[in-house]
Amino acid sequence: MTSNSDPATSVGDDPRRYAFTVWNYRQGEIVAAMIYLGNELGFYKAMAGAGPLGAAELAARTGQHERWVLEWLRLQAAAKLLDYCGDERFQLPDAAINLLVDGEHKTFAAGEFAGPGMADSLQRLFENFRTGLGNSYEDGGPEGAHRGECRHWQAARNDLIPRMIPSLDGVEEKLKAGAVVADVGCGDGAAVLAMAETYPNSRFVGIDASRHAVALVERKAAEMGLGNVELRHADGADLPGEATYDFLITLDCIHDMTRPEAVIAAIKRSLNDDGTWFIKDIRSKPRFEDNLRKPMLAMMYGFSLMSCMSSAMSEPGGAGLGTLGFNPEVAERMIRAAGFTQFRMHDFKDPGNLYYEVRH
């Protein structure tokens, strides 16, 4: 007997339905692996705009073996990722283009399917659960620093610069005139490089605790010929002890930090009197039960176990906030505790994230 009948909190007591839920995840695991394969083998790209295709045609276009291609096509149609047009012919629907074909599109998803990388993450979890210690982003190796890169560039060029920065009090004017800016937890550097490109009069510092991320961004800054960006391999808690920055950003990273309070205190010290700190963090509510209607909630806890909370637990005594941990209540409490008095939430109609503008 279940304790309540609310479908958001109760699994119900129909054993067939429960079995379907369980096996549906097993099916999802396999379909995910086949999406990874289809992306790597260029199947989706080869089908884009091609109309209905049979296995022989797709095999010829991609240089793969026809019988194996046919089974993959059937699986994709069974998974409702391809239209079945009859006579063993299959078509990629228009809705798939942004998600599975166009690697430059901000909603491109096919590149996010981890494939063999998943086995490594899973293996590490055994040790994590036993010791309580997680893995930092640096432990994810050079490959890890690239994850989500296209999406981050799209967000920087389409959202951060044209939409978000202009809505912050006085920031765009300062960046145009010449400001000193830090991106703490800069990751693959999309934001710091896009800003450096857009505001040549300003000086930018990208700071990250992962040496792989720093090396990646240094390489890209050189390729882009940017002379106004400097990279530092450092912990955010080691920001300069005196007022230095006119504008400082932390995007999607406070919840990953082992010592968020120490980093926030360092941000407070290093921000000029008239400076602005801009935060992007995962949209979540303080109480677990209030998040239960989020359609991708289980996936978010998976990201947390394999990435965010793992990073935030990667030192003894790590705060371990995790993917959904820097919710508005925690954010405001930590930010005010550091001595900041101005805390404003922005609604940029981003279903995945919340944004805050913080000043002394």
Ligand X SMILES: C[S@@+](CC[C@H](N)C(=O)[O-])C[C@H]1O[C@@H](n2cnc3c(N)ncnc32)[C@H](O)[C@@H]1O
Contact positions vs ligand X (CB under 6 A): 137, 152, 184-188, 207-210, 213, 235-236, 251-253, 256-257, 263, 311
Give whichever of 54 and 302 is closer to ligand X, judged by the CB atom.
Answer: 302
Q: Which residues contact 151 (CB under 8 A, 6 or more apart)?
A: 106, 108
Least distance in angstroms from the C-beta of 330 to ligand X? 16
Specify which residues 355 forms β-bridges with.
280, 346
What is the distance between the alpha carbons of residues 249 and 237, in angstroms, rounded to a whole number? 14
Least distance in angstroms from the C-beta of 23 to ligand X? 32
Rounded (5°) CA angle 136-139-144: 95
Pairing state between β 180-184 and 245-251: parallel
Give whichever of 39 and 304 is closer to ligand X, judged by the CB atom.
Answer: 304
What is the distance between the alpha carbons of residues 168 and 164, in angstroms, rounded to a whole number? 7
Burial of 112 (0-12, 13-18, 19+ CB in 10 A): middle
Give whichever of 59 and 319 is closer to ligand X, judged by the CB atom.
Answer: 319
Give whichever of 53 and 168 is closer to ligand X, judged by the CB atom.
Answer: 168
What is the distance between the alpha carbons of residues 183 and 181, in angstroms, rounded to a whole number? 7
Least distance in angstroms from the C-beta of 39 to ligand X? 21
Least distance in angstroms from the C-beta of 112 to ligand X? 13
Give whichever of 101 and 263 is closer to ligand X, judged by the CB atom.
Answer: 263
Least distance in angstroms from the C-beta of 346 to ligand X? 16
Based on DSSP, count helices (H) and strands (E) in the chain, helices before strands: 16, 9
What is the distance between the alpha carbons of residues 262 and 130, in angstroms, rounded to a whole number? 27
3-state secondary structure of 167: helix
Residue 220 token pair:
């890209």
Least distance in angstroms from the C-beta of 342 to ligand X? 22
Determine phi and psi for 203, rounding to 5 degrees.
-110, 135
Give whichever of 55 and 249 is closer to ligand X, judged by the CB atom.
Answer: 249
Comparing every residue's Cβ against ligand X, the nearest one is 187
Give whichever of 96 and 305 is closer to ligand X, judged by the CB atom.
Answer: 305
Least distance in angstroms from the C-beta of 72 to ligand X? 32
Residue type, 357: E
